[in-house]
Amino acid sequence: MVEPIPPVDSRHKARILMCPPDFFGIEYEINPWMNRRVGSDSTRAAEQWRGLHRLLTDLGAEIELLEPVRGLPDLVFTANAGLVYGDLFLSSRFRHAVRQRETPYFDAWFAAHGFTVVTLPEGLYFEGAGDALFCGETLFAGYRHRSDSRSHQKVGELLGVHVLPMELVDPRFYHLDTCFCPLDPETALYHPGAFDEYGRKVITSHVPRLIEAPPEEAASFCCNAVVVGRDVVLNVGAPKVEQALRRAGFTPHATPLGEFLKSGGSAKCLTIRVDGEDAASWRTHPPQLGRTFAAARGATR
């Protein structure tokens, strides 16, 4: 039984970066959901994206937009851009070459908006908020299909935070954010079947309150949700999870995102919190680590 906790400070306005799906489509296959023969409906995808944008705006979020780029269909999945930590943007190193071309556009946006952009050494794969999510002070990290465990160790060193790497064993849940969603610093929604026994123990021993997504609802990517205070925005098709969220003191908002699920994405994949996730304890006092990195760079020039 998940006990509800008091609401968070609602005066903070969430800042979210999204990218319109002008050039979204299934042009290659890099996860089990993608099938070029099936493709996607561009009109319906645009409608679904606008519905998500409108819903987040109605919930009080400030939405900023990245300019879409022809030939980069997955630029729409901004969660994979990197990891935000205070004034620092830790840029992704994508495993697949087709997505590596997105990095300059993400890096340029964050640099232009006051972030210090830091990149991991070559040879390390790291796919940002797709595989690294804060719950409280701890950074939970998924590896195997996209990111690797060595990259998470380096992330922990760079940020000076406690990192818990967990292996993702089901290829359908290839990123951590497809099967694990921190809701607040002590609560998370997750799908146990996406992890091995060790990963499940890591989650159950470090997160005080947990909501389990059953297999049939996890397949709708209900864990790939956007959290804004006590509001949780998720794809349609998860009535049991919605009920559990209400019992835990959250308000679910289901919106159709089926066209993006065809590409292995949903609500969370389509967004990145520029101000830090609600479940990150540091969000109320964002660290200025970016200034430290910038000063060190200047000293070595």
Task: Give yes or no for a contact between 254 and 235, defined as CB atoms under 8 angstroms apart.
Answer: yes
- Please state, in angstroms and rounded to a whole number, the distance separating the CA atoms of residues 152 and 124: 9
Q: Which of 175, 179, 181, 223 is catalytic?
A: 175
Alpha-carbon distances, residue 89 vs 19, 23, 173, 271 (angstroms) = 17, 25, 25, 15
The residue annotated as part of the active site, out of 181, 222, 223, 269, is 269
Annotated catalytic residue 269: yes
State the DSSP string of 80-119.
Answer: GGEEEETTEEEE-B-SSHHHHTTHHHHHHHHHHTTPEEEE
Distance from C-alpha of 214 to C-alpha of 146, rounded to nearest angstrom: 24
Question: Rg of the chain over CA atoms, in angstroms?
Answer: 18
Render the burial of 135-171: b for 16+ CB within 10 Å, e for the rest: bbebbbbbbbbbbbbbbbebbbebbebebbbbebebe
Kindly state the tokens that stand for 106. Answer: 């993400």
The dihedrals phi and psi of 104, each to the nearest 5 degrees, come to -60, -35
Which residue reads 């919605």 in tokens?
Answer: 242
How do 272-273 and 62-65 pair as beta strands?
unpaired
For residue 22 the two structure tokens come to: 């002008």
Give the DSSP H/E element, type plus range, for residue 155: helix 149-159
Q: Indicate if 53 belongs to the active site.
A: no
Q: Which residues are known catalytic residues?
A: 175, 269
